[in-house]
Amino acid sequence: MLFNSFVFLFAFLPVALLTHWLAERFRPEWRLPLLAVLSFVFYGYWDWRFIPLLAASILVNWLVAQAFMRSGRGVLIPAAIAANLIVLAIFKYFNFFADLANLIPGLHAPRYDIALPLGISFFSFHHIMYLTDLKAGKAPRYDLVRYALYIGFFPQVLAGPLVRWSEIMHQFDERPYERSDAAERFARGLMLLVVGLAKKVFIGDQLAAYVNPIFQAADAGNAVSFVEAWQAALGFTFQIYFDFSGYTDMALGLALLFGIVLPQNFDSPYRSVSLQDFWRRWHMTLSRFLRDYLYIAMGGNRRGLAIQLGALFATMTLGGLWHGAGLTFVAWGAAHGAGLALGVLWRKAGLRMPVLVGWALTFAFVLLTWVLFRATTFEGALRIYEGLFGLGSFGAGFKWRAIAIAAAVAVIGPTAWAFVHKLPPRRWIAVLFAILFVIVLFKIGDDANYEFIYFQF
């Protein structure tokens, strides 16, 4: 079920909150098993056939962790990590690699239409983070219920944020509603949920209506005008931000309702003055994962400049492939890897750049590479680029108001987390948020309910 759906907001969430409060109040020992069950119900609502995969994934990885702690056999952890990657490859990349193989003359690799389980990339990476830290002696042993909740906690199981065990496991043992700030946490959680819904419904979905038809036309082989191309490129640049950051705000808010603080995932990325700065602000938990579990493992900046540049390029290229089983995603990741590598060389040379120039170049680079991310084919991306650089007709009807509002909020406004936590506890603020929530509900009922972009990854 979608966070921005009536079945979630008026059925699942109220029941989950009520039963969680009752368990925490009268049977604290039931709280974590209840949250785990609720998470499986939430996940299984999409497709009950995905539940066995999630359950088996949790059980097998937990058993491997237990066996490693008992025996100390180092081979168990790499084998489990490899198994996680193989399962991910089968479900997400089988046809991608089959298509690559079929480019070789004489080969005829079969293709299978396998349903992609929602969130498989995210919960696979959670397994990998825990197992890697367990082998390094950083992570302790956990019981099955806590481990299942770490992997499947419903606010973050489908699209993150990517949460390290050290950021969340200790919170499971707290009594959240007995804290002195319990009421404030709950209130700010509700506010984050409403802000995230508003960002998704009023900005992200509005931009989707202006962006999707243009990219679909480009992928279908139609020419794209200058105005259409800039509307699509600028629109998607802000659509993906409000769609994904809106989901993250909702996830953080929902977690707060249940007494859990999840890590932030966005920090005004379109204010970045360099590409390195952008990746410190965009999808921050993924950036940390790629840095700590790929880039550093490849040598990072400890083995010379050539290794550092190669590790950056390889890390970002793999990061692009993680986003989707398509060569356009690989090209998007490779472009960011090359851009980050150029940034390293620039800094090594001791060169400087005015802040405004750095911001403009960074924003332009990110915007242009988002075209590769959004287009489903290189041909479609090429038609958008042709339009952007004025190689077709000029066109008319640029939807500037929606884009201007989105740009102002994204570049000038604070993050939702900072905004909500700076608000004083006032009754009139609560009334305003209640009114905003009602308006959002009318909008949800009136318009198409777009899924979140990152659910496909």
Q: Could you say which of 146, 178, 210 is where a domain stops?
A: 178
32: exposed, middle or buried (C-beta count within 10 Å: 0-12, 13-18, 19+)?
middle
Q: Would residue 140 count as lying in a domain? A: yes
What confidence score (pLDDT) does residue 447 get? Answer: 58
What confidence score (pLDDT) does residue 457 get? Answer: 65
Q: Are residues 245 and 338 in the same domain?
A: yes
Contacts for 457 with CB less than 8 Å, ≥ 6 apart? 121, 159, 322, 323, 324
Q: Could you say which of 178, 208, 226 is where a domain stops?
A: 178
Q: Would residue 457 count as lying in a domain? A: no
- 122-153 tens-digit pLDDT: 999 999 999 999 999 999 999 999 999 999 99
Q: Are residues 117 and 25 in the same domain?
A: yes
> How many whole angstroms from its chain centre is CA 84?
19
- 152-161 tens-digit pLDDT: 999 998 887 9
Q: Would residue 383 count as lying in a domain? A: yes
Q: Are residues 174 and 308 in the same domain?
A: no
Question: Is 60 exceeded by the pLDDT of residue 93?
Answer: yes
Per the CB < 8 A criterion, the answer to whether 367 and 237 are in contact is yes
Q: Where do we find the tokens 């050290």?
A: 166
Range of the domain at 330: 183-452
Question: Per the structure, how many domains does the chain have?
Answer: 2
- 390-414 tens-digit pLDDT: 998 998 889 899 999 999 999 998 9
Q: Could you say which of 139, 161, 178 is where a domain stops?
A: 178
Report the greatest alpha carbon distance in the chain: 72
pTM score, whole prediction: 0.93
Q: What count of other Cβ atoms lies within 10 Å of the Cβ of residue 374?
A: 26
Greater model confidence, 450 or 82: 82
Q: Are residues 114 and 234 in the same domain?
A: no
- 248-285 tens-digit pLDDT: 999 999 999 999 999 999 999 999 999 999 999 999 99
What confidence score (pLDDT) does residue 21 get? Answer: 96
Average pLDDT of every residue of the chain:
92
Q: Are residues 228 and 309 in the same domain?
A: yes
**Mean pLDDT along residues 151-178:** 92
Where does 153-304 have alpha helices with state H?
165-168, 182-198, 205-219, 226-257, 275-281, 284-290
Find the angle CA(34)-CA(35)-CA(37) to the nearest 5 degrees.
65
What confidence score (pLDDT) does residue 261 get? Answer: 95
The pLDDT-based confidence of 107 (bands split at 50, 70, 90) is confident
Q: With pLDDT > 70 as the criterion, what percentage of the chain qualifies?
A: 98
| DSSP states of 277-335 | HHHHHSSHHHHHHHIIIIITTTTTTSS-HHHHHHHHHHHHHHHHHHH-SSHHHHHHHHH
What confidence score (pLDDT) does residue 102 get? Answer: 82
Q: Are residues 109 and 201 in the same domain?
A: no
- The catalytic site residues sit at 323
- Structure token digits, residue 174: 């707290």
**Mean pLDDT along residues 231-240:** 97
Q: Are residues 135 and 228 in the same domain?
A: no
- 290-343 tens-digit pLDDT: 999 999 999 988 889 999 999 999 999 999 999 988 999 999 999 999 999 999
Q: Are residues 172 and 246 in the same domain?
A: no
Q: What number of residues does the chain have?
A: 457
Q: Would residue 86 count as lying in a domain? A: yes
Q: Would residue 363 count as lying in a domain? A: yes
Q: Would residue 11 count as lying in a domain? A: yes
**Mean pLDDT along residues 78-91:** 93
Q: Would residue 320 count as lying in a domain? A: yes
- 411-438 tens-digit pLDDT: 998 999 999 999 998 999 999 999 999 9
Q: Would residue 367 count as lying in a domain? A: yes
| CA neighbor of 33 nearest in space, from 168, 172, 225 | 172
Q: Are residues 239 and 365 in the same domain?
A: yes
Per the CB < 8 A criterion, the answer to whether 343 and 274 are in contact is yes
Q: Are residues 169 and 193 in the same domain?
A: no
**Mean pLDDT along residues 102-121:** 81
Q: Are residues 195 and 81 in the same domain?
A: no
Q: Are residues 245 and 296 in the same domain?
A: yes
The pLDDT-based confidence of 349 (bands split at 50, 70, 90) is very high
